[in-house]
Amino acid sequence: MLFKKRGKVSIKDVAREAGVSHATVSRALRGSPLISPPTTARVKAMANKMGYSVNAVARSLVTGKTHTIGVVVTSIADPFVGGVTAGIEAFANERGYSTILATCHADPETEKRMVASLRERGVDGILVASSRVGTEYCSMAAEMRVPIVLLNNQRPGGYPDSVTIDNVGSAQRAVEHLLELGHRRIAYIGHSLGYASECDRRQGYELALTSAGVALQPAYILQADSTPESGATAAATLAALTPRPTAIFCYNDITALGVLAYSREQDLRVPQDWSVIGFDDLFLSQHLYPPLTTIRQPMDEMGREAAKLLLGLIAGEEIAADVRMPGELIVRQSTGAVGH
Amino acid sequence: MLFKKRGKVSIKDVAREAGVSHATVSRALRGSPLISPPTTARVKAMANKMGYSVNAVARSLVTGKTHTIGVVVTSIADPFVGGVTAGIEAFANERGYSTILATCHADPETEKRMVASLRERGVDGILVASSRVGTEYCSMAAEMRVPIVLLNNQRPGGYPDSVTIDNVGSAQRAVEHLLELGHRRIAYIGHSLGYASECDRRQGYELALTSAGVALQPAYILQADSTPESGATAAATLAALTPRPTAIFCYNDITALGVLAYSREQDLRVPQDWSVIGFDDLFLSQHLYPPLTTIRQPMDEMGREAAKLLLGLIAGEEIAADVRMPGELIVRQSTGAVGH
DNA sequence: ATGAAAGCGCTAACAG
DNA sequence: CTGTTAGCGCTTTCAT
């Protein structure tokens, strides 16, 4: 009886029952000061009684805003992505925004398709993490008339609105930690797909070494692909070298995980035979054996920061912020003084 | 010039430029057989040239469908949740559905608020993982006129449309594995907030023991709260017992992680001094020391299955499926024969 | 303080 | 085959 055929109760149904116009209902429900308190109360009571709830789709059509942001990530099953997304969602939710999730599996074409699809869905803004498209968004954002912010953009060239971990500085700090422990033969295991983050971390590595007057050894610079297996393979290569490096800086924790696994398998003690340091500080890293020294990326904060930037852009702020987040060195037991 | 003030190009703009009615444009763009091939081609070309893209909001208002599903989870930073969500999103995306993410931090009130909010946003269906509300949705789904499916419902009482891991059977299998290794003094570390899954796993534990003619020992049944710390505390309690249990079945991998940490700290060898088995098979579990024997929950598949069920319901299928997924015993090095 | 009317961009009868 | 006409449910001038 209270329900029409189409299902949900509309503003008009409430208006009829309350004996007012549907415009009045619309105003009353949103607490407009134009409506008298008694009317407002009566309308609200009736709406409540009838189980009314707004149709956000209809509202969006007239206001032109959906209060929704799109988030495109490589894979939500990735622990780093999950942490960042949690921060994004939390901040957005606090501000009354919903989050539409889209995954692109690190494929640039899919990434662009997802962005286009989100735009069709009318999102007020788009956030893309670990973009493989990057700079192209400068024109796309304007053309689509939708603000876009990048989080850990992986394409060189830069983008005005983005938040990124300080890869160079953090990597440098990691290697300095090794230098402080007396290490001089320090290897680096990177990532073969020239991500911007990988170039930057290698640059930080080289910077730290050359600043300390340590010559770069090409044989000490290897590539893996962010799997434990590839990390183990690279470790094997390094283990066969003479002289063997006494410390290894890895592109990320997953790579370091492989080095640790190889070391245990070959009875190479960590950190006595060589020190190992990672990057990310995944939850698992503190539970490895030995617990991994690493650079912590503040995932939640980075997500919040990116969401904040995006909502600012949506609100019309003109700020073109290139936020750089600091990484934090977390010293655990996988690094130690040289020659122990 | 090609753009109107409001920003985006509309169907009417294309119609004007192409010299047809906007209805024709609408049909042509969707490939309606009613429109002649030449007209269709011309319209498509013009739309393309003008950078047109549909306004899904407007479309939804008339069709009454948004091709969007809502997913409410406890926390997207949780690795299990991330795995399941990946499966949901993948399946939904393949079928042309977008996913709106909402988190509720395991709070029943927030969970209900999120469901209500998703409904306002016009989602075609809702999927809630690890629900703390459960059975109440029977009436809510009807009242809201939106299909709801539950994944790993944590409230006893059941719900018609849900997919759940076979907790009883899987736990039973885990304990049987221990029994087969010769263990008789087998402890269980559960979870203090009576989740349905925890009750079921304990039930499986008890079933396995009594079926094997092993009497239940109340002192061997403890509660933790799914943190490594609480797992370690429970392990300490068990270690102080005489006789000490020779094996521990943990509610989940995180709890087992704590047991492993405590064991290493106290020089209790795993599995020689006691065997440890978990539940979930998180990514990290294979990298622990020793690698953890556990029950694998097929996260991706569970997500896909739940999404499939939901999309079926949305399509109007009448099936009320209570899908039960099998867990898989993964034997690694944290379990071994008794007395070694 | 309230109502009447217009319109957001689209789909879907109904005509022709 | 194509155009005309109504809305979908809401917000928002503009009157009163």
Is A6 (CB) below 7 Å from strand D? yes
Contact A152/B86 with Cβ under 8 angstroms? no
- Residue A1: per-residue pLDDT: 24
- Residue B141: per-residue pLDDT: 83
For residues A50 and A72, state if they share a domain. no
Contact A288/A257 with Cβ under 8 angstroms? yes
Nearest by CB to residue A53, choosing from B55, B57, B120, is B120
Is B20 (CB) below 7 Å from strand D? yes
- Residue A142: per-residue pLDDT: 83
- B12: number of Cβ within 10 Å: 12
User: Is there a domain that residue B2 lies in?
Assistant: no
By C-alpha distance, which of A157, A113, A337, A326 is closest to A247?
A: A337
- Residue A3: per-residue pLDDT: 31
Tokens of B94: 């393949």
User: Is there a domain that residue A336 lies in?
Assistant: no
By C-alpha distance, which of A78, A79, A57, A76 is closest to A68?
A: A57
Residues of chain B below pLDDT 70: 1-7, 340
User: Are A287 and B288 a contacting pair at CB < 8 A?
Assistant: yes
Using CB atoms within 10 Å of the CB of residue B210, give its burial: 0 to 12 exposed, 13 to 18 middle, 19+ buried.
Answer: exposed
B36 residue type, one letter? S
Q: Number of folded domains in chain B?
A: 3
Alpha-helix residue ranges (DSSP H) falling in chain A = 11-18, 22-29, 37-49, 56-63, 79-94, 108-120, 137-144, 167-180, 196-211, 228-239, 253-265, 299-314
Q: Return the CATH number at B144.
A: 3.40.50.2300
For residues B118 and B97, state if they share a domain. yes
For residues B197 and B228, state if they share a domain. yes
A278 residue type, one letter? G
User: Is there a domain that residue A305 lies in?
Assistant: yes
Tokens of A157: 């060239």
Using CB atoms within 10 Å of the CB of residue A18, give its burial: 0 to 12 exposed, 13 to 18 middle, 19+ buried.
Answer: buried
Which residue out of A72, A287, A333 would a mutagenesis test of the B interface target, given it has the greatest number of B Cβ atoms within 10 Å?
A287
- Residue A158: per-residue pLDDT: 80
- Residue B214: per-residue pLDDT: 97
For residues B141 and B251, state if they share a domain. no
Contact A129/A84 with Cβ under 8 angstroms? yes
For residues A226 and A285, state if they share a domain. yes
What DSSP designation does A135 have?
Answer: G
Nearest CA in chain A to B116: A53
For residues B153 and B189, state if they share a domain. no
User: Is there a domain that residue A333 lies in?
Assistant: no
Tokens of B311: 């999309």
β-bridge partners, A187: A248
Is A101 (CB) below 7 Å from strand D? no
What DSSP designation does B293 have?
Answer: B
How close is the nearest chain B Cα to the Cα of A113, in Å? 12
User: Are B98 and A121 a contacting pair at CB < 8 A?
Assistant: yes
Domain holding A149, by residue range, is 65-165+299-325
Query: Would you give the end-to-end CA distance of chain B in angstroms?
Result: 82
Q: Determine the Cα angle at A296 with ends A292 and A297, to 5°.
A: 140
Q: How far is CA B13 from CA A219, B9, B22, B280, in A?
A: 62, 6, 8, 54
Q: What is the pLDDT along chain A (340 residues), one digit of tens a residue?
A: 223 334 689 999 999 999 999 999 999 999 999 999 999 999 999 999 999 999 999 999 999 999 999 999 999 999 999 999 999 999 999 999 999 999 999 999 999 999 999 999 999 999 999 998 888 888 888 888 899 999 998 887 788 899 999 999 999 999 999 999 999 999 999 998 878 999 999 999 999 999 999 999 999 999 999 999 999 999 999 999 999 999 999 999 999 999 999 999 999 999 999 999 999 999 999 999 899 999 999 999 999 999 999 999 999 888 778 899 999 999 999 999 997 6
User: Is there a domain that residue B252 lies in?
Assistant: yes
Nearest CA in chain B to A10: B120
How close is the nearest chain A Cα to the Cα of B41, in Å? 22
Instruction: Please name the helix (run of DSSP H) or strand (run of DSSP E) that holds residue B119, with its range, or none.
Output: helix B108-120
For residues B173 and B160, state if they share a domain. no
User: Are B101 and A101 a contacting pair at CB < 8 A?
Assistant: yes
User: Is there a domain that residue A107 lies in?
Assistant: yes
For residues B184 and B268, state if they share a domain. yes
User: Is there a domain that residue A87 lies in?
Assistant: yes
Q: Return the CATH number at B36.
A: 1.10.260.40
Its sign, for the CA torsion A216, A217, A223, A227, is negative
β-bridge partners, B151: B129, B163
A293/C12 CA-to-C1' distance in Å: 63
Q: What is the dihedral of CA B94, B100, B103, B108, to 10 degrees?
A: -100
Nucleotide D11, nearest residue via CA and C1': A62
User: Are B77 and A57 a contacting pair at CB < 8 A?
Assistant: no
User: Are B101 and A117 a contacting pair at CB < 8 A?
Assistant: no
For residues A173 and A292, state if they share a domain. yes
A56/D10 CA-to-C1' distance in Å: 8
Instruction: Please name the helix (run of DSSP H) or strand (run of DSSP E) that holds residue A101, with its range, or none.
Output: strand A98-103
What is the tally of helices (H) and strands (E) in chain A? 12, 12
Q: Could you say which residues 53-72 of protein chain B have a Cβ atom less than 7 A away from any atom in strand C? A: 54-55, 58-59, 61-63
Q: Cα separation of A151 and A162, whole Å?
A: 6
Q: Cα separation of A279 and A327, whole Å?
A: 9
User: Are A287 and B283 a contacting pair at CB < 8 A?
Assistant: no
For residues B125 and B207, state if they share a domain. no
User: Is there a domain that residue B230 lies in?
Assistant: yes
Is B34 (CB) below 7 Å from strand D? yes
For residues B178 and B274, state if they share a domain. yes
Residue A128 sits at φ, ψ, to 5 deg, of -120, 130
By C-alpha distance, which of A36, A3, A33, A8 is closest to A20?
A: A36
Is A65 (CB) below 7 Å from strand D? no
User: Are B284 and A283 a contacting pair at CB < 8 A?
Assistant: yes
Nearest CA in chain A to B143: A51
- Residue B333: per-residue pLDDT: 97
Q: Determine the Cα angle at B261 with ends B255 and B267, to 5°.
A: 135
For residues A206 and A266, state if they share a domain. yes
